[in-house]
Amino acid sequence: MITPKLLKLIYTFSVYLALAGILIFAVLKIKKLMDNKGKPNLDENIVQNNTPKILTLSQSQLSKSLTVRYFSIFTFSGFLLVFGFMGIQTLANHITMKPSVVISFLLGLTGLVIFALVEYAIDLMVKHDAIFSANTVGLEALVYKDIKAKRGAMGKVRVSINDEVIEFEAVTNAEATLRKGSKVKITNSLSDTCVVVE
């Protein structure tokens, strides 16, 4: 038989477990960020695979490359945190056990959804930073669409950055057109979406 005292202990334990889960999530995210550091290289799979997963530099494509995860350490921690905290509050306000559990559970589900959206936003910012802030100058790339000589017309190149194949618009100062399939070197960055290659 569950008593109010035992239920309060369960709520308190849920809060502490949630805080531990959030700490683990933070450590794992920091570790992942540290592991992804380092100079990216041309991915040979771009050459071997005609249909790699390509991420173009637009916010909509970037958003579609991620999904909202409702079941993870972070989201479960969110559920436990809200469930435990609201449970303690309901008991403190003299709400009986059954309504306390129901209210806490429903609000816990709300916390789960909120934490899932927060995790999605964090992943989106991390991926955005990894792509748009990458120092691409000096990297090798693969011409995907012909780049006309002397900046005659813009083409496209693909480069691997942090395990993602990224497509950039590209121009060249070279005397000859750079053909599809050629390996080139990025010599300058004109914007977040356009580079100069040779």
Alpha-carbon distance 107 to 120, whole Å?
A: 20
- Residue 195: per-residue pLDDT: 86
Sign of CA dihedral 135, 137, 141, 145: positive
Q: Any idea which of 77-86, 139-148, 158-167 has the lowest mean pLDDT?
A: 158-167
Alpha-carbon distance 41 to 50, whole Å?
A: 18
For the chain, how far is it from start to end, CA to CA, in angstroms?
76
What is the pTM (predicted TM-score) of this model?
0.59
Q: How confident is the model at residue 153 (pLDDT cuts 50, 70, 90)?
A: confident
Question: Which residue is it, tokens 């993870």?
Answer: 72
Paired residues of 70 in beta bridges = none
Mean pLDDT of 150-167: 82
For 154, what's the count of Cα atoms within 13 Å in the CB-facing half-sphere? 9
Long-range contacts of 101-109 (CB under 8 A, 24+ apart): 101/7, 104/11, 107/82, 107/83, 108/79, 108/80, 108/82, 108/83, 109/79
DSSP state of 158: E
Q: What are phi and psi of 156, to 5 degrees?
A: -140, 145
**Residue 188: is its pLDDT beyond 70?**
yes
Mean pLDDT of the chain: 81
- Residue 190: per-residue pLDDT: 81
For 87, what's the count of Cα atoms within 13 Å in the CB-facing half-sphere? 26
Is residue 177 helix, strand or coil?
A: coil
